[in-house]
A and B are shown apart, each in its own frame.
Chain A
């Protein structure tokens, strides 16, 4: 190991310590920056120390959950795994995850690396990381103020893939946009997909990307849609069609609010409450199989896996169940509405919309969500909050759904916890998640003492 790389690691570690001591945040991006400035090739140096395999996970929705499944499956098999679990998925955050995991001699003693990569960062990260496998969950519109438009996201990922031609791509072939990477590129690949109709009408937003054939620009025909542009498609003009996936989930059943399914002859009784988590599980399994990873406890790992991940938590406050959900884009939000509608009982809803850079400054996506279903969902109060609460209220007004706004969420929650409706759903976008989680944990504790 070169002196320069060692110096980079040591300085990054010192930076991390300093940040923690000064209590100036979690210290997940600056150390990476410091390391990179000292040694621009640090990420490659680190990645080459991984004994077995490096996996990257990308995609609009489901990255964090899927990456977490991979991490748990590999760890449960006795491996040491590097993971950027903190959601630090840009270049500096990824470098931090590696350098901060090194031993005192600045070397890594890890078997695997499971790295979540932001789509925009992929162009700069993949060529350095040279992963064995690149998993893509799906592509849909997300933070258009950062990404520009979906086609630009597609081009960015394509450039990243082309820079690592020997990386095996794990692709959701139900998503025609994802499948196009295989048609237009040369990487080795494995596909996964679901052939049963498991999503309901409500979770299918009317807004779709790319329902036009990328080969011949003809409009694609669909037997059915899962959600967004995902589904069973074919082009009657040039013959492009959704292929038979290498890995699929079958015998999908929903009992007592959770799903069970079979992947590759393995029956899994999961704790997944939403159909998109079947996709996340399937993609992780396909990746592990493609890598021929030795994961003897996989079934157990998957059945014990907690899909909540702090992004879907339930709190018991007084007699009320409070469900906290993170939603950052229209596809994700639509899924949450479908979930709320599965609860037929009386309920209240709080929607928390901020517009910081992390959330996306453009809130126009709220108009791509089909909120009209909430008018018929046995909802008592709907309260909006956050820096763009009036935009959210306006969205509901134009569906003739009454709501109120607040700047004090705590009082609103407490008020609603005193009414007799059994459930309160709180949907937040990114920057509101941390504080809401903390607030609810505190209220739960206070209510129980």
Chain B
């Protein structure tokens, strides 16, 4: 079995270790004896969604997002069809914002893909810190780092997780990210997948099932190290003393 992973515009969107998400998809397929093909779609390249099983849309700066937006408008309809048909998408930071209707940056309103019923507005104080989520889809807490100026309203859509520590979509909603069909949009980088292998396998399973039309049971992998890296962060923020010290440090 083989999956094709399209990395959209790595020449423009490549912040916050996005490459780690690709690497995680690829290795976790290879370690199971499955094949992986990475298809970097550079700005200006065309994309054939019928040959793609996973789409990764990463983070970029406001300026780069503006440039990306132009390219996205050209593939808007096909991208939307792919999502409605159950295509797997992981969108992080800037990529997440662009899946919505618009991103109102400091200077202007950037039109998004309108795939998710969400909207984002820029606010002066960036939301930057470690973040931990609880998601009903996953047994292990999801850990990562957030760094965004945009505040995202997800309206009636389902969030990716409930914020245990950190700020999330707006800094006050208590929720983070957005899930729609097989799309996960999130501000979590760090990168997201290596420390949250359950999320990676969830997306791989969805992509394999969509492509091969059968129920897939993924082989178990030894995730001891992944669990350790994840637990370090979870334990750190379960410790109320630590959280208090960090909060005091932040405001002094």
Show the binding face of A for B, using Cβ within 8 Å. 141, 144-145, 148-152, 206-207, 211-212, 217, 219, 357, 361-368, 387-388, 390-391, 393-395, 397-400
Contact = CB atoms under 8 A, between A and B. Distances in A.
B204 to A, nearest CB: 15
B191 A367 contact: yes
B61 A151 contact: yes
A150 B63 CA distance: 10
A364 B225 contact: no
B191 A394 contact: no
A151 B19 contact: no
11 contacts: A145-B128, A145-B147, A148-B128, A149-B15, A149-B61, A151-B64, A207-B19, A364-B190, A394-B226, A398-B20, A399-B23
Contacts of A150: 61
Contacts of B128: 145, 148, 362
A361 B129 contact: yes
A140 B191 CA distance: 19
Contacts of B15: 141, 144, 149
Contacts of B44: 219
A212 B9 CA distance: 12
Most chain B CB atoms below 10 A, which of A367, A388, A395? A367
A393 B61 contact: no
A141 B15 CA distance: 9
B149 to A, nearest CB: 7
A221 to B, nearest CB: 13
A33 to B, nearest CB: 13
B226 A365 contact: no
Contacts of A212: 12, 64, 67
B169 to A, nearest CB: 18
B140 interface: no
A364 B43 contact: no
Question: B interface, by DSSP: helix, strand, loop or mixed?
Answer: mixed
A212 B13 CA distance: 12
A319 B215 CA distance: 59
Given A145-B128, A151-B61, A151-B62, A219 B11 contact: yes
B190 A394 contact: no
Contacts of B16: 144, 362, 364
B67 A217 contact: yes
Q: Lowest 9 CB-CB distances: which A-B pairs, in order? A: A367-B17, A364-B17, A367-B20, A390-B229, A149-B61, A151-B61, A362-B145, A364-B16, A390-B228
A394 B17 contact: no
B187 to A, nearest CB: 12
Interface string B12-39: 1011111110011001000000000000
Contact of A368 (B17, B63, B195): B17
A398 B11 contact: no
A183 to B, nearest CB: 15
B19 A393 contact: no
Given A368-B19, A390-B225, A391-B229, A362 B147 contact: yes
B20 A364 contact: yes
A202 to B, nearest CB: 17
A207 B43 CA distance: 16
Contacts of B43: 219
B223 to A, nearest CB: 10
Contact of B225 (A144, A151, A152, A393): A393
Interface residues of B, number: 37
Nearest to B14: A207
Interface string B92-123: 00000000000000000000000000000000
Contacts of A151: 61-64
A398 B62 contact: no
A219 B10 CA distance: 13
A365 B17 contact: yes
B12 A364 contact: no
A151 B59 CA distance: 13
Contacts of A395: 20, 194
B110 to A, nearest CB: 14
A393 B27 CA distance: 15
B232 interface: yes
B67 A394 contact: no
B189 A391 contact: no
Contacts of A217: 67
A394 B229 contact: yes
B126 interface: yes
B241 interface: no
B249 interface: yes
B23 A398 contact: yes
B4 interface: no
Contacts of B229: 390-391, 393-394
B130 interface: yes
A211 B63 CA distance: 12
B189 A364 contact: yes
Nearest to A365: B17
Most chain A C-beta atoms within 10 Å of own C-beta, residue among B19, B62, B126? B19
B48 to A, nearest CB: 22
Contacts of A145: 128-129, 145, 147
Nearest to A357: B249
Interface string B123-154: 00010111000000000000001010100000
A398 B24 contact: yes
A391 B189 CA distance: 13
A388 B147 CA distance: 19
A149 B24 CA distance: 24
B188 to A, nearest CB: 10
Nearest to B43: A219
Interface in B214-243: 225-226, 228-229, 232
Contacts of B190: 362-364
A394 B195 contact: yes
Nearest to A360: B145
Contacts of A398: 20, 23-24, 27, 194
B92 to A, nearest CB: 10
